[in-house]
Amino acid sequence: MSAIQDVARVVDVEDETTSEAGHREVIDIMALRASCPQFRILVIGKANAGKTTILHKVCNATPETKPIVYDHRGKKLRKSWFKKPTSQRGEHNIEYQITFPGSHFIFHDSRGFESGSVEEMEIVRNFLKERSDHGS
């Protein structure tokens, strides 16, 4: 029996009122997770717009939960890199990968991406193109 079938069976036992559509939805989600175990998400917004708060909410993390941050080579960075929100421009590194314990998401935080900068827009375009070309 596959892991997807096991999950569907557990849902069936735990909640006998779950509809057939609900079972299919659980199976669809599990199939998607099996084919794509991690989702990469780029978070773009103005400084102090609440991007970090959104990351915590999506990952069901408390404000005390410290993210795990990796540089563009996959090297884990020291904890002090992920600081309190800042209103200063240009303090982002879109290449850094941010994860939270127990989460299947990989975030790339713009850390204060502001409109109007051709250079910043080009960085985002290149980031998206590179990821789409390599499927990562």
State the pLDDT at residue 99.
92
On whether both 57 and 108 belong to a single domain, the answer is yes
pLDDT at 97: 92
Residues 6, 31: one domain? yes
Q: Are residues 9 and 57 in the same domain?
A: no
Q: pLDDT tens, 35-72?
A: 877 788 898 887 778 888 888 898 999 888 888 999 98
- What range does the domain containing 31 cover? 1-37
Does residue 68 sit in the same domain as residue 117?
yes
Q: What are phi and psi of 82, to 5 degrees?
A: -85, 95
Q: Are residues 71 and 110 in the same domain?
A: yes
Q: pTM for this one? A: 0.65
Question: What is the helix (H) or strand (E) element at residue 99, kind and residue range?
Answer: strand 97-99
The tens digit of pLDDT for each residue in 77-133 reads 886 555 555 555 545 688 999 999 988 899 998 766 666 678 878 888 888 898 887
79 in the same domain as 115: yes
Residue pair 86/114 in contact by the 8 Å Cβ criterion: no
User: Identity (one letter) of the amino acid at 108?
Assistant: H
pLDDT of residue 29: 75
Q: Are residues 4 and 47 in the same domain?
A: no
Does 117 lie in the same domain as 84?
yes
Q: Per the structure, how many domains does the chain have?
A: 2
User: Does one domain contain both 42 and 101?
Assistant: yes
